[in-house]
Structure 1
């Protein structure tokens, strides 16, 4: 083993159509002194054979194979294995531009007080065609702190993270699955500085099967709870979610008031989540409509509920639209707030 400054960490699960291109974009970096940890998280689509072949071609690749354990467990394992002080994230269906690492490490040389540095990115489809640019991630630590209640803060797979800071905050947390990056950024912001460089150095592949699309409701609830937990820590109080095995689901959000030991947390979570569900039919039909109905009953803005009813009717969700419309109608005659 040789000493190196950088470890690269990629978790792969059924990325066969894209993974060879993703690996090549790392091996072709202009900054070449790194180890490349690839955690194959139980792939069943041919990714295993591709990764084994690629690992045999470059000694920098450290291939780890395991049964499917999920992204959080895979990333925590990879961080624990890393020999370097800095870990660069990468996803198995994306591409890093050739000078990504060189640019980020140069930034860290000039800003030794930063523990995380990301990049701007371009969204591409499965054929590699540009969909849109995402170049508005905060470019300095002050802007990052000011934007923390908003999403997104940083392109997770484009980040280089200080291993010491990562370990100090306890790594990724399983209860924040699907928003594990946001929870991590919030906790890291309490011990170090974070931002992204100006340049677009990452090509992010967008497809309808991604977690972002399939688990929007769960992700939005988790992010809202993570923010409330951050506020507790920032006030010098313990994190109420530390040690939990799971967060309450959409039907039991009122449990949050008990978990946090104060009234109004569930209401704040619903107020943050409701507007994010309007354009996702899967989210609306998997509990999102009920959440919006509760939000309105608590005195929230009725406009999200009205839009949700219209969208559900448009897609033939008559029963769900009727239930939400009934809740909306009752809210006009009930006292506002609970």
Structure 2
């Protein structure tokens, strides 16, 4: 008799691993047919489906010596959920493709599944299927689906001159955590218990899904998930909309960054403006709309192009992560 989670994945085989994983996956009300057939069937009440895909590669997006399997699963799940929510949609389902070395412990595969599942459950989404393969490094690719529930999608291209720029969540925490996880003489001298909140923010970002949906429902003209940095992602909004977005840096909350920035000799605004993977949301909305509590107005939209940070020259800072040009995550 095989004990669930015992041994390496090559000892249980592909179909044994599928059986152990699917046993962990309850199906929600949006799922008509879940795992077990050639494809899943998910409801689309208004006839529209929002779809996105995000891939995570070991050594680039995550490290097993920094994060547990469940933390890695949670973070990858959050990246996909945030993309769906940034369109003003409610996540409904996920498909997960997983490649790993044959020697990977079965328990690791189960734990990463639990992390993906539990983060998805925060928004009522189910894992409805996927695929498995062997590979030298772990690769996880998720396709997430969502429902607009009769609303129009919120696009990057909808910003209008006169809008306010609104931030949902906080940026820079994950970037600070990454800096603290990277070894250096300065970091090695810092007490391990110091700044644990920042390290945790890199491992498992706390995403304001419901607040972002509330922003969409109250009339957001545009919105984008901040996965590659505030300057970069707001830049996508500005470019797609044909406008100029201005940020007032005094409106950014860097209170949790200042002590770590002082220790490491960096400007906390650099993390807040260029750091990715917090999965905050940035968007624009008309000036006369009453905003839900918890949203932060950080600037405005004017005629022109690009992104301006009032009183700051940010040209020395890389605006965001680019997989083919950036030197590291």
Greater share of residues in helix: 1
Greater share of residues in strand: 2
Alignment TM class, shorter chain as reference:
0.3 to 0.5
Give me the TM-score of the superposition, normalised by structure 1. Answer: 0.32
Give me the TM-score of the superposition, normalised by structure 2. Answer: 0.32
